[in-house]
Amino acid sequence: MPGDHRELRQTIDHLKGEIAFRAKLAVQHVSGEVLLPDYYRKGDHDRILQGRVEATRRKMQELAALDIPLSPFLELGAERGQRSLVLTNDFGATGVAVDISFHQLRSMEHFARLFERPRLPLRVCCDANQLPFKSNSFPFVFCYEFLHHFPALGPIVQEIHRVTAAGWFYFDEEPFRRAAKVALYRQRSKIYSQDTMRKHPYLRLLESFISEPRCDEVEHGVIENEELSLAQWQSALSVFEQRDIELVSLDRLRSKLGPRIRVGNFLNYFLGGSIGGLCRKLGGPRKDVQVNLGEMLACPDCLAASPTGRAEEASLFEVPGGYRCLQCGFTYPCSEGVVFLLPSAKLQQLYPAFCPSP
């Protein structure tokens, strides 16, 4: 069909790899049991998350000062939800944290206790390629280190744009392609291993220019698309009418990404680095900040069955043990506070233990 981007989305094997990898992470970072010896241990991970909590609070204060409504929000790729916990507890926001990993979303209760932020967002296990929300639902959508896990930017950014109301999409800590790189060899140690962390920072920087890294994510089948060009970023984000995008190289070299690559972007283009910023969707009144989150939910099966992928946004209503579609009658399960809103066939493939009985 015209506009069909299925070949540019994650495959079922990619999603299975994400789930298997993040299930191990959840165990390692909650219980301390080492399942991934070349990844951060529990104590190191707790300190990293604490830093992210503090950085998120500062950033959200900046956005609030710009009169950007932080509620209701949608966090994509929320994992264990430390950023959503900041919004719900420090800013009194209401919102939804989504991820493909049930195990990571379930671990949010542990991190809520650890960071003394007891109020939880609505947690939804879903496929970001098929977000189970009605169009124009959220005035604030955000993500960190999320967009590069897809084979192409266009389809996922279009889906984000669909569920964004007249409001803002914020993203950060995403990679863009480094022009000055020649992969002369493959590193022996994985990027988060203790051997790698013991190397001098300047040596690690040099190796990033001349070698191919190894990481647990890729070995589990997770997409790590760090070769996204600035042109690809420009094209994908152009669906938003207004954009304020920044490029950062070596933690200090900064430039703005405009409608075309400019002379001021040359060093960033050459060195690579991270990209992030704020995009705005215009049109229509601002969303009511007191809206019921349940009214935003839409049946994934009915969304997928629509010729346009968005016309038949059948509502869901809460029933014991889950949410039922008013149109097709399918009941999506809820377990340990996490709602599964995956298309029924994909739910069977990814989480067969949670499928409702026929």
CA 162 to chain CA centroid, Å, is 16
Please report the sign of the dihedral spanned by the C-alpha atoms of residue 274, residue 73, residue 294, residue 312.
Answer: negative
> Is there a contact between 190 and 215 (Cβ–Cβ < 8 Å)?
yes
Domain range for 230: 6-293
> Is there a contact between 241 and 256 (Cβ–Cβ < 8 Å)?
no
> Residues 329, 285: one domain?
no
pLDDT band at 259 (very low <50, low <70, confident <90, very high): confident
> Residues 304, 237: one domain?
no
Smallest CA-to-CA distance from 38 within 50, 51, 52, 24 is with 24
> Residues 204, 229: one domain?
yes
Rounded Cα–Cα distance for residues 309 and 278 (Å):
26
State the DSSP code for 297.
Answer: B
Query: CA dist 106 to 28, 92, 97, 99, 191, Å?
Result: 14, 21, 11, 11, 27
> Residues 216, 348: one domain?
no
> Residues 258, 321: one domain?
no
Within-domain flag for 48: yes
Mean of pLDDT values over 232-255: 95
- SS3 of 278, please? strand
> Is there a contact between 295 and 315 (Cβ–Cβ < 8 Å)?
yes
> Residues 98, 157: one domain?
yes
> Residues 208, 223: one domain?
yes
Smallest CA-to-CA distance from 74 within 131, 142, 132, 134 is with 142
pLDDT band at 4 (very low <50, low <70, confident <90, very high): very low
Q: Is the pLDDT of residue 51 over 70?
A: yes
Mean of pLDDT values over 290-300: 87
> Residues 158, 302: one domain?
no
The more confidently predicted of residues 111 and 291 is 111
DSSP 3-21: T--GGGS--HHHHHHHHHH
For the stretch 65-91, pLDDT in tens is 999 999 999 999 999 999 999 999 999
> Residues 163, 304: one domain?
no
Within-domain flag for 357: yes
Q: Is the pLDDT of residue 6 over 50?
A: no
Within-domain flag for 74: yes
Which residue blocks in 32-114 are alpha helix, DSSP H?
42-65, 82-90, 102-106, 108-114
At 107 the pLDDT is: 98
Q: Is the pLDDT of residue 61 over 80?
A: yes
In percent, the amount of the chain with pLDDT more than 90 equals: 83
Average pLDDT of the chain? 92
Q: Is the pLDDT of residue 2 over 50?
A: no
At 3 the pLDDT is: 39
pLDDT band at 263 (very low <50, low <70, confident <90, very high): confident
The more confidently predicted of residues 2 and 246 is 246
Within-domain flag for 245: yes
Q: Is 188 exposed, middle or buried (0-12, 13-18, 19+ CB in 10 A)?
A: exposed
Within-domain flag for 49: yes
Lowest mean pLDDT among 194-203, 230-239, 306-315: 306-315
> Residues 180, 65: one domain?
yes
The two structure tokens encoding residue 302:
């009915």
> Residues 306, 283: one domain?
no
Which of 272, 293, 314 represents a domain boundary (last residue)?
Answer: 293
Q: Is the pLDDT of residue 290 over 60?
A: no
> Residues 326, 249: one domain?
no
Within-domain flag for 1: no
The number of distinct structural domains making up the chain is 2
At 1 the pLDDT is: 31
CATH number for position 224 = 3.40.50.150
Within-domain flag for 137: yes
Which of 268, 293, 318 represents a domain boundary (last residue)?
Answer: 293
Which of 258, 278, 293 represents a domain boundary (last residue)?
Answer: 293
Q: Is the pLDDT of residue 122 over 70?
A: yes
Q: Is the pLDDT of residue 309 over 70?
A: no
Within-domain flag for 258: yes
Which residue blocks in the chain are alpha helix, DSSP H?
12-31, 42-65, 82-90, 102-106, 108-114, 153-163, 194-197, 201-210, 216-219, 230-237, 266-271, 300-305, 344-350
